[in-house]
Amino acid sequence: MNEAQVKQNVQALQKRRESLVTLKGKERSNALLKSGSGATGDIGDTDRGTDLARQTVALSLTKMESSEIANIDAAIERAHQGRYGLCEVCGRPIAAERLKSIPEASSCMSCEASARM
């Protein structure tokens, strides 16, 4: 992967990160607004169950987004260190096609497949 491709991928990673951070902020605001909506009235068990389900889904999404942000930050750091595009496990280059579709990838397909076994 040449320097121009690395730079292009880093820019894509930075845009994705900004988008995720903005989304997380909006979700937090919405969750706070929704959680306060029933505070003054008596809500039924169904409403409580629905609220709990929404909170569970929101928490899961927040965890996934936080994990994705961490992976993006790690990829950007690897780029600054000159290690972007190299597998963290075996040290070989990660296929350009893989990095194009998953720019935060830290391992090659072979090592990824081995880790899943």
Give pLDDT, residue 32: 53
Contact 114, 88 (CB under 8 A): no
Question: In this model, does residue 93 exceed pLDDT 60?
Answer: yes
Lowest mean pLDDT among 1-5, 32-36, 96-100: 32-36
The model's pTM is 0.74
Question: In this model, does residue 42 exceed pLDDT 60?
Answer: no
Nearest to 81 by CA among 13, 20, 6, 12: 6
Give pLDDT, residue 31: 60
Helix (H) or strand (E) holding 69: helix 45-80
Question: In this model, does residue 78 exceed pLDDT 90?
Answer: yes
Q: How far apart are CA 78 and CA 102, in angstroms?
A: 15
Give pLDDT, residue 96: 93
Q: How confident is the model at residue 24 (pLDDT cuts 50, 70, 90)?
A: confident
Q: How confident is the model at residue 35 (pLDDT cuts 50, 70, 90)?
A: low
